[in-house]
């Protein structure tokens, strides 16, 4: 471990950590707003444009499939070109996509705009996670990276509030959905300004570029003297540059970790995004009402459920993650979320009882945030070495958005065939798979990034596979 790594790992929580959280977190505020507000927008667009269920599903989900492209491309570019060179470009795409979506004249144009937006959203996942991970200290890394992700909750609430305000003011439906989508450009624009002031990741400069002295100077200035290190030349001589993609994907250790980080995130996002983006449809179905005021009532209920259940989950996760353990918290979340889905799926007539249904739906939200929705983001950026950290995080986030795309696109169809209870029983199955795949991820809490990415730690995941194989053979 270099003196720079040690200084970063042991630095006390300071103002520069807060600056980093806000800078990275505003991107996630925008991501969440853009991803979840579309469910409200399409509720208004569908009757105006006479969309069928397949078209509605595509509008809801196209951003998620393009997010796969963005996550992979920007994750890889971040390792090849550097964090700072590409940090902010994805925010520019979000500005363009959001503004263009607001002026969409037809279905095809809206699909193209949402696709562009999704590339920016997807790119923000590995960029934000990687940078915050590399600026964090050892003791509070889960908390700091988790706080970046928790901005997702505030972005989601903002979408509900803006939607309610517009509907309550009796703004026309056509203008309401356009304002909702266009508003996503506002926080994205602020991100562009904030991120250009952030220096290159000191760990990347040190380990990949070999610019140890510059890394030390940059972090000393950015941290206002909190992180001070001796500029030795040891890392400069041993810096190996970024890891080639072929080297990364041909390494069985990293493939095993990808099965854990990408696999758990994939199954979680299938269940979470399918339910969350389609939440207006779910709640409206449970209420069993029709009419002009139903959407307003639906949004109000969603806002209450999300604010009381999901928001506390985000922030309790960040508070306790480093104490409980990042992997252990993911297990707890999958267990709690899956149990809530199962109960909704098996209790007779639960979808006709508004209060019990909303309570269980709220429990599923709480454990999603107090668990895999937060931990999958954190773990994917911790498990890989600096030379390939953004690549591993980007692949994991990209595969997650494939799962989200499938969940959002198929949920209305599955709901039609199996009902809400059948759709949530399938989500329970995904939670079980996520619980089991978490076994492949070593526990990183309280460890330095160098310890986590060492061969000894990676071997823990291999031991799990070997133990499982022996048990099966016996």
| Predicted local confidence at residue 271, as pLDDT | 84
By the 8 A CB rule, do 23 and 198 touch? yes
CA of residue 366 relative to chain centroid, distance: 16
Q: Which domains does the chain have, with CATH numbers?
A: 3-473 (1.20.1250.20)
Residue-wise pLDDT tens digits, 305-346: 788 888 999 999 999 999 999 999 999 999 999 999 888 888
Average pLDDT over residues 2-11: 90
By the 8 A CB rule, do 272 and 327 touch? no
Confidence of residue 272 (pLDDT cuts 50, 70, 90): confident
Residue-wise pLDDT tens digits, 140-187: 999 999 999 999 889 988 988 998 899 889 899 899 999 999 999 998
Alpha-carbon gap, residue 110 to 468, rounded angstroms: 48
How many Cβ atoms are within 10 Å of 265's Cβ, its own excluded? 31
State the helix-helix crossing angle for 53-81 and 252-277, rounded to 10 degrees. 140
Residue-wise pLDDT tens digits, 371-398: 999 999 999 999 999 999 999 999 999 9
Alpha-carbon gap, residue 40 to 298, rounded angstroms: 10
Residue-wise pLDDT tens digits, 176-234: 999 999 999 998 888 888 877 889 999 999 999 999 899 999 999 999 989 988 655 44
Confidence of residue 407 (pLDDT cuts 50, 70, 90): confident
Which tokens in the block code for residue 254? 């990293």
Average pLDDT over residues 440-456: 85
Confidence of residue 365 (pLDDT cuts 50, 70, 90): confident
pTM of the model: 0.86
Of residues 454 and 84, more confidence is placed in: 84
The fraction of the chain above a pLDDT of 90, given in percent, is 55
Residue-wise pLDDT tens digits, 61-114: 899 889 999 999 999 999 999 998 888 888 899 999 999 999 999 999 999 999
Query: What is the total residue count of the chain?
Result: 474
| Predicted local confidence at residue 292, as pLDDT | 47
The 3-state secondary structure of the chain, one letter per residue? CCHHHHHHHCCCCCHHHHHHHHHHHHHHHHHHHHHHHHHHHHHHHHHHHCCCHHHHHHHHHHHHHHHHHHHHHHHHHHHHHCHHHHCCHHHHHHHHHHHHHHCCCCHHHHHHHHHHHHHHHHHHHHHHHHHHHHHCCCCCHHHHHHHHHHHHHHHHHHHHHHHHHHHHCCCCHHHHHHHHHHCCHHHHHHHHHHHCCCCCCHHHHHHHHCCHHHHHHHHHHHCCCCCCCCCCCHHHHHCCCCCCHHHHHCCHHHHHHHHHHHHHHHHHHHHHHHHHHCHHHHHHHHHCCCCCCHHHHHHHHHHHHHHHHHHHHHHHHHHHHHHHCHHHHHHHHHHHHHHHHHHHHHCCCHHHCHHHHHHHHHHHHHHHHCCHHHHHHHHHHHCCCHHHHHHHHHHHHHHHHHHHHHHHHHHHHHHHHHHHHHHHHHHHHHHHHHHHHHHHCCCCCCCCHHHHCCHHHHHHHHHHHHHHHHHHHC
Residue-wise pLDDT tens digits, 34-63: 888 888 898 899 999 999 878 887 898 899
């Amino acid at each position: 471990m270099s003196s720079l790594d040690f200084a970063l790992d042991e630095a006390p929580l300071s103002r520069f950590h807060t600056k980093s959280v806000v800078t990275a977190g505003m991107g996630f505020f925008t991501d969440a707003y853009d991803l979840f507000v579309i469910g409200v927008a399409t509720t208004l667009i569908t009757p105006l444009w006479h969309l069928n269920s397949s078209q509605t599903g595509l509008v809801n989900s196209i951003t998620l499939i393009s997010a796969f492209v963005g996550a992979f491309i920007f994750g890889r570019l971040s390792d090849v070109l550097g964090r700072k060179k590409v940090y902010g470009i994805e925010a520019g795409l979000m500005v363009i996509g959001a503004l263009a979506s607001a002026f969409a004249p037809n279905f095809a144009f809206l699909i193209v705009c949402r696709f562009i937006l999704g590339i920016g959203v997807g790119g923000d996942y590995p960029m934000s996670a990687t940078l915050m991970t590399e600026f964090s200290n050892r003791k509070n890394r889960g908390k700091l990276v988790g706080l970046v992700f928790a901005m997702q909750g505030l972005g989601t609430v903002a979408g509900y509030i803006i939607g309610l305000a517009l509907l309550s003011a009796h703004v026309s439906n056509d203008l309401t959905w356009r304002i909702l989508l266009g508003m996503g450009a506002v926080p994205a624009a602020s991100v562009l300004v904030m991120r250009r002031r952030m220096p290159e990741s000191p760990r990347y400069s040190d380990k990949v570029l070999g610019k140890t002295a510059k890394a030390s100077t940059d972090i000393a200035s950015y941290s206002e003297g909190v992180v001070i290190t001796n500029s030795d030349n040891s890392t400069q001589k041993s810096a190996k540059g970024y890891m080639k993609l072929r080297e990364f994907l041909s390494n069985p250790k990293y493939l095993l970790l990808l099965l854990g980080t990408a696999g758990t995130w994939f199954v979680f996002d299938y269940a979470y995004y399918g339910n969350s983006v389609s939440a207006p449809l779910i709640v409206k179905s449970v209420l069993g009402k029709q009419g002009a005021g139903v959407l307003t009532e639906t949004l109000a209920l969603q806002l209450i459920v999300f604010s009381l259940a999901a928001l506390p989950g985000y922030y309790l996760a960040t508070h306790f993650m480093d104490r409980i353990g990042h992997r252990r918290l993911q297990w707890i979340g999958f267990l709690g979320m899956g149990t809530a889905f199962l109960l909704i799926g098996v209790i007779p007539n639960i979808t006709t009882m508004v209060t019990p249904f909303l309570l269980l739906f709220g429990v599923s939200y709480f454990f999603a945030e107090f668990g895999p929705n937060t931990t999958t983001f954190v773990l994917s950026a911790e498990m890989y070495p600096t030379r390939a950290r953004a690549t591993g995080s980007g692949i994991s986030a990209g595969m997650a958005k494939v799962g989200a795309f499938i969940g959002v696109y198929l949920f209305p169809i599955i709901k039609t065939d199996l009902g809400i209870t059948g759709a949530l029983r399938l989500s329970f199955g995904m939670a079980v798979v996520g619980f089991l795949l978490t076994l492949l991820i070593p526990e990183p809490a309280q460890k330095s990034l160098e310890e986590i990415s060492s061969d000894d730690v990676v071997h823990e995941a291999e031991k799990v596979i070997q133990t499982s194989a022996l048990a099966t053979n016996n």
